[in-house]
Amino acid sequence: MNQLTIIKIGGNVIDNSENLHQFLLDFTALPGDKILVHGGGKIATELGQSLGIEAKMVEGRRITDIETLRIVTMVYAGLINKNIVAQLQAKGSNAIGLTGADGNVIKAKKRPVKDIDYGYVGDLDEQSVATSTLDSLLKAGLVPVLCAITHDGETQLLNTNADTIASSVAVAMSDLYETRLVYCFEKKGVLKDVNDDASVVREIKANEFEGLKADGTVQGGMIPKLHNAFQAIKKGVSAVYIGKADELAELAEGVFGTKMLK
């Protein structure tokens, strides 16, 4: 199997033009087939405020009413996605920007209302990703750049968490490729001491996860990140990395951030 790398970036890269420029240089230099998944950063929130639409968040998750959906679609699928694609083209990477509706690559289901109505938010399942379409694009020498907008197949666009998209794509494509999933965020990886960037835990196996939670090495928001990482590995992804975007070049040497293993 050929190797495929799926990399997800968020606001810490997107919101800083210098960070984004360097990241895209490093991304372009990575060997092999690649897919980039991006979130939205703070631009959608700022645009909404300028239009008198305040962001509504519950436990870090955006409530997406119809006005918010229009804003995030314009920003994620338009401004951010096309800016990234244009920069990749300038760096010699033949990128193609996509929402889930384009080529029907990611079809989601509107999240059902339980305790909270998240509005026009899409959830994914094992049938959501059109692997044959993504495979065709990769075989044509293109680099898919996926934003956090999906669709339900019945004309409705949906806002879908970019971390979830990256994981679902990695799992789906693992039937065709040896896939590795890379989450870029603000830390250098999983740290033994959150105040010491030099204390990176280089490898964590699935059977070590509970122990690291118990002794406090993994805590807070890192717990769901690692839970999702090991779920991806369980479903066929060969390895998951979590690290800092400005160190992506080290991925080629296998020393990027923290590597999660089976």
**Mean pLDDT, consecutive 10-residue segments, the chain of 262 residues?**
95 92 96 95 89 82 91 96 98 98 98 93 96 98 98 97 94 97 91 87 91 85 83 94 94 89 86
Distance CA 11, CA 61 (A): 14
The predicted model scores a pTM of 0.94
State phi, psi for 135 to the nearest 5 degrees.
-60, -40
Helix (H, G, I), strand (E, B) or coil at 27: helix
Can you read off the two tokens belonging to residue 29? 């230099």
* Distance of alpha carbon 77 from the chain centroid: 14
